[in-house]
Amino acid sequence: MDKTFKVWDGAGSGRCLQTYSTHCGAVRDACWLPCGRRLLSGSFDNTTSVTDLETSQVVARVDNQFKVTCLAFQPSDATVFLCGGFSSEVKAWDSRTCKMVRVYKAGIQQTLDILFLGDGKEFVTSSDVVSRDSADRTLIAWDFVTTAKISNQIFHERYTCPSLAMHPQEDSFVAQTNGNYMALFSAQKPYRMNKRKRYEGHKVEGYAVQCEWSSDGTVLATGSSTGSVHFYEFQSARSLLTLHAHQQACVCVSYHPVIPGMVATCDWGGEIKIWN
């Protein structure tokens, strides 16, 4: 929460290559743009920035008027990105003009994660809302162009979902839940949950624990509040491996995009480890 983001030589020396100080508040989310030369970052200072990593120059900056906690760029047009956070709205911005192009009004207090489906015509948001009768609005599917809600009756269990992950090969996605399991959903309307598959054995317990698929989609990895990393087989949902990685809660796990089997993990205290 030191208001910076860092780029590391993760697969080589492990050293920090550059520290970027483009925000005046804690940086809550960041993601690479497809070109590999720019990075999108969102902060508690209410802004989202696009930074050129070679020159350290901010090439675009927008003010969301709320603390930003999650970001996603549009798959078919990376100049457009979505911002969510401590607001009832999700906003779409054009990084070329720094103008807001769409607003999605969800009637919630906070957006926890954003996930584009398929070619980017639809996306799903997770929120902190759990109603008395069901998890109404916990997951909402949106039409990207019209801003219309396609469905808010996707997940009917009373748990919030801190993170979402799209399967790289199949038309499905998973939602990490505070029920200490990951649920599998179809990425096609009406986004039905697969009740025969549940990836469980790890703990979430209120942490924003991230999950991610391997590049071939055969393995699903997740952190755990216990500090361990869990790997599950996609088809059977059985546990493949548990790594006792950190002393504090493991909140993030990410596969290397090119090197098979290389995984980065991060804990609540900021410690990052690379695993083979």
Alpha-carbon dihedral sign for residues 8, 11, 13, 14: positive
pLDDT (tens digit per residue) in 49-75: 999 999 999 999 999 999 999 999 999
Residue 271 has a pLDDT of: 93
pLDDT < 70 stretches in the chain: 130-136
- Bridge partners, 100 (sequence order): 93
With left for phi above 0 and alpha for psi between -120 and 50, is residue 79 left, alpha or beta? alpha
Residue 136 has a pLDDT of: 64
pTM, 2 dp: 0.93
Compute the C-alpha angle 102/151/159, nearest 5°.
105
* Alpha-carbon gap, residue 153 to 140, rounded angstroms: 7
pLDDT (tens digit per residue) in 102-154: 999 987 889 999 999 988 999 999 998 765 554 567 899 999 999 999 998 89
Residue 251 has a pLDDT of: 97
| For the chain, percent of residues with pLDDT exceeding 70 | 97
CA 14 to chain centre: 24
Gyration radius of the chain's alpha carbons:
18
Residue 28 has a pLDDT of: 94
